[in-house]
Amino acid sequence: MKASPTTCFATERLTKRFPRVTALNDLTVSAGPGVTGLVGANGAGKSTLIKILLGLQPPTSGSASVLGMDSGTHGMEIRRAVGYMPEHDCLPPDISATEFVVHMAQMSGLPRIAARERAADTLRHVGLDEERYRPMGGYSTGMKQRVKLAQALVHDPRLVFLDEPTNGLDPQGRDDMLALIRRIGTEFGISVVVTSHLLGELERVCDHVIVIDGGRLLRSSAIREFTQVSQTIAVEVEEGLEPLAARLAGAGETVAVQGRTLTVQVAADADPGRTYDAVRDAVCDLSLNLIRLEQRRGRIEDVFKEPAA
């Protein structure tokens, strides 16, 4: 396993079979420091991967490690060093956020006074003020997500696993949570592994994205590679798409015809202006009528339309 001291987690041929389903299938992947997005549709295997990494579930075969520690043998040490925000609602309704987060801080080994101070600071950081003294049963989904986040951060971990932290939030709540996740990764200097089935939102906060599908690795790349590699210019003309494609291909451009649209790839380090000029010149030379010429910024969603890596 290529685990260095800066590797947040790594897996090697990790497989988890349940009686009716294979949740993880020969998965070899690793994540460095910073904010890593773990993305996949419901049932892709994200929660199972986190539970195995934390040593909460044994794999069927293969191995996993977190911060250089083996998940199979060092689960306790891993859970001491990292924070975990589970996906599902797990908060006792009758006690307040303050009581709960102080309790979690003490469970991690902090003395009572230090635990109270840390809990107050952490709850403030996640944006819970006076409400923190009220029983959590009356909280909105957004407030509950913030408490779950606070308990994951209260013992000052080096790394946090956040499982679907934007689940159930309205658009404003989602934006706030994403901004908070970005701050945890930058201002607080804590590495983050965050799961989501909503691909677009990870684009905004992650340095690196891992895509899994049916328990298999689909792609693992820096976020800028997702967006730059698929940067294309879309062209539509009234008639003559094929001659235009042939002309641009002959001039060394990478082109593809998709229905009535011609896409022209802009190389990662190239100036899109040069590609625009090439398209404009070819359209003029062939006397075609241009309907559309626009730059498409690649989006994370596009990886699902590409063949598996």
Binding site for ligand ATP (CB under 6 A): 18, 21, 23, 40, 42-48, 87, 164, 197
Side chain identity, residue 155: H
Nearest-approach distance from CB 214 to ligand ATP, in angstroms: 9
Nearest-approach distance from CB 163 to ligand ATP, in angstroms: 7
| Residues β-bridged to residue 232 | 265, 296
Are the C-beta atoms of residues 264 and 279 closer than 8 Å to each other? Answer: yes
Nearest-approach distance from CB 46 to ligand ATP, in angstroms: 4
Nearest-approach distance from CB 212 to ligand ATP, in angstroms: 7
What are the residues whose beta carbons fall under 8 Å from the beta carbon of 85, sequence distance 6 or more? 148, 149, 151, 152, 160, 161, 162, 163, 165
Rounded CA gap, 128 and 98, in Å? 10
The alpha carbon of 164 is separated from its chain's Cα centroid by a whole number of angstroms, namely 9
Nearest-approach distance from CB 21 to ligand ATP, in angstroms: 4
Q: Which is nearer to ligand ATP, 32 or 43 (CB)?
A: 43
Q: Which is nearer to ligand ATP, 44 or 279 (CB)?
A: 44
Q: Which is nearer to ligand ATP, 37 or 40 (CB)?
A: 40
What are the residues whose beta carbons fall under 8 Å from the beta carbon of 259, sequence distance 6 or more? none
Q: Which is nearer to ligand ATP, 42 or 287 (CB)?
A: 42
Nearest-approach distance from CB 57 to ligand ATP, in angstroms: 8
A 10 A CB-CB count for 192 gives 28
Q: Which is nearer to ligand ATP, 167 or 263 (CB)?
A: 167
Q: Which is nearer to ligand ATP, 43 or 68 (CB)?
A: 43
Burial class from Cβ neighbours inside 10 Å (0-12, 13-18, 19+) for residue 227 reads: middle
Nearest-approach distance from CB 87 to ligand ATP, in angstroms: 6
What are the residues whose beta carbons fall under 8 Å from the beta carbon of 183, sequence distance 6 or more? none
Q: Which is nearer to ligand ATP, 23 or 194 (CB)?
A: 23
